[in-house]
Amino acid sequence: MTLRTRLTVWYSLVLLAVITVSAVVVAWQLERIGLRRVDRELDAVTSTLSNVLRDELHETGDAKAAADEARELVGAPGHAIAVFTANGERLGTTADPFSIPIRPEDASAPRQLIVHSPPDDWRVHVQPATIDGRTLVLVTGISLADVMREQREAREAIMVGIPIMLLLAIAGGLWIASVGLRPIAAMAERAASIPLTGADDLGHSDRTDELGVLARAFNGLVARLRTALQTQRQFMADASHELRTPLSVIRSAADVTLSRAHRDEPEYREALTIAGDEAKRVGRLVEDMLVLARADAGGYPLRPVDLYLDELVSECRSAASVLGAERGVTVSSHGPADITFVGDEDLLRRMLLNVLRNAVQHSRPHGLVAVDVVPNGVSIAIRVSDAGTGIAEGDRDRIFDRFVQLDPSRRADGSGLGLPIARWIAEAHGGTLELESSGETGTTFCIELPVGSR
């Protein structure tokens, strides 16, 4: 079933239930209104009968004669009148279409009832009355034929009207659903023709209703998908480029070494050393790519533990000092002791090493790399400053992009994934990694981690 059909079916079922309930209520109200009208008429007849009996008893003093006279004066077509004594003796009556047994207790309280006397039902009032010291029971009735006829006509109208109203409602529902869903169908048709490349989307929508919200949300989704696809393609292109260089070096070293039948041991060692170094570079690159791929897919869960951040910084400083010793770069750290933190120790160590390695590689020979840890109760700031030549203004927005290496002479020292991985680790802990400042005297990166992050 299409959405239009389902909407129409549900709409029709709800409408049928509402109409049916309304019809039942209307029929019930018509019956109550008819009975109230008959009751008012019977009250008037009973009052008239009582007044006539009182007058006749004053004149004749004979209760039976007074009852017969009252019957002649008050009786009318469709009405029934009877007068009883307190012990149930009938004094006078019209043509009796109903039979009501009168008991002595009926003389104490009035009552109303419906008497079934085929072919019609009758509405009957039993009213005790004391006239000239005599207790009489006045019985008046009116045929319910007119009331029953009105109810039958109302039911017939309802039985005929409900199907007609339902058919009209179904037709109207189908039309309304078609009109309401037409923009969605048009959006779906246009969405099916949108290519994966290019800038096409559903177009700008000025609508403020739900369809406008849907169009804008879909356009946003298309934009995000295109950005993700473009990022993925760029990532694959950059990864292929980065992998091609070390693989070419390994293949060239192997081809050159194997180009002669016999070589000396130093030549073989040199070739294997070149292949081993490039293999390590490929391994680091593949490992970094795997980390970023898992991070993008949300499949790299954190394993938070309680740790001392100052001790972790000290360990990373010692490891970076080994790398800095080759270039004469000194690595120092400053900050208070016993800085507690909750986070993934392995990822935090990797983040700090990536930033420190980047600082050492870009520092001038015999320069200084400083690490300052500053907690303020709300967050912990870790600033890493190097003694390099700084980053050009136009490149500062690119340094956190993947595979970006500003200095081509140092391509063999890294893959351009260190800072992107470090930023992801900081953000995974609820923090940030930003370029704080850069100039001719050096560059400072600031890692800010919120206290209590998990």
Q: What is the DSSP string of 11-55?
A: HHHHHHHHHHHHHHHHHHHHHHHHHHHHHHHHHHHHHHHHHHHHH
Which of 151-156's residues contact partners 24+ apart within 8 Å by CB, and which partners?
151/27, 151/30, 151/31, 151/34, 154/26, 154/27, 154/30, 155/27
pTM for this prediction: 0.52
Q: How far apart are CA 8 and CA 172, in angstroms?
A: 9
- 116 burial level (CB within 10 Å; 0-12, 13-18, 19+): exposed
Looking at the DSSP bridge assignments, the partners of residue 90 are 84
119 cis-preceded (ω within 30 degrees of 0): yes
| Residues whose CB is less than 8 angstroms from the CB of residue 267 and which lie 6 or more positions away in sequence, other chains included | 257
- Walk along the chain (454 residues) and give the pLDDT tens digit of each residue: 677 788 888 888 888 888 889 888 988 888 889 889 999 998 998 888 888 888 888 887 787 888 877 777 877 777 888 888 877 777 766 555 556 666 666 667 788 888 877 777 888 888 888 887 788 888 888 888 888 888 888 888 888 888 888 888 888 888 887 777 777 777 777 777 777 666 677 666 677 777 777 777 877 787 777 777 777 777 777 677 667 777 888 888 888 888 877 888 888 888 888 888 888 878 877 887 778 777 777 767 888 999 999 999 999 999 999 888 888 899 999 989 889 999 999 999 999 999 999 899 889 888 999 999 999 888 999 999 998 888 888 788 788 877 776 665 554 455 678 888 899 899 989 999 999 998 888 999 999 999 865 4
Residue 37's CB: how many other CB atoms inside 10 A?
15
Take residue 444 and report the two structure tokens written for it.
């400072």
Given CA atoms 34, 37, 40, 46 in this order, what sign does their dihedral have? negative
Q: Are 94 and 75 in contact (CB under 8 A)?
A: yes
Among 121, 45, 123, 118, residue whose Cα is nearest residue 83: 45
Looking at the DSSP bridge assignments, the partners of residue 439 are 442
Q: Angle at which helices 145-192 and 210-258 pack, to 10 degrees?
A: 30
SS3 379: strand
Q: Are 304 and 340 in contact (CB under 8 A)?
A: no
Residue 429's CB: how many other CB atoms inside 10 A?
22
Q: How many residues does the chain have?
A: 454
